Homo-oligomer: A and B are copies of this chain.
Amino acid sequence: MMNLLPVKLVTIVALDSLSERIVNDIKVCGSKGYTISAVEGEGMEGKHFTDWEGRNVRIDTLVKEDVAIRIMQVLAEKYFEKYSVIAFVTDAQVMRKDRF
């Protein structure tokens, strides 16, 4: 009999140059692990599609709900106004909650 427990997956897409700062912020918020992968992206600036400058990264971290909320708040305060940072939260399930 398996015991699946709910956690939150927070996914952040940002310029590679911001990744070190963002990783530090999510650790301060309580993240205990993350993955980073290279992505290319394109987004809307006003009414025109524009390539984001430089290489982008996708950061994924599995966290408890309160940590997810803290991460979103910190990202909103520090990045959303100034940078093309995208972040979203997804419900996920894991076997053991304690590690996250």
**B41 pairs with A36, CB closer than 8 A:** yes
Report copies per complex.
Answer: 3
Docked complex Cα distance between A12 and B35 (Å): 11
Collect the chain B residues with CB atoms within 8 Å of residue A38's CB.
37
Docked complex Cα distance between A26 and B4 (Å): 18
The 29 listed contacts between A and B (C-beta, < 8 Å) are: A2-B73, A4-B72, A4-B89, A9-B90, A23-B42, A27-B49, A32-B44, A33-B43, A33-B44, A33-B86, A34-B41, A34-B43, A35-B40, A36-B39, A37-B39, A44-B99, A72-B95, A75-B95, A76-B95, A80-B96, A86-B94, A88-B92, A88-B94, A89-B92, A89-B93, A90-B90, A90-B91, A90-B92, A90-B93
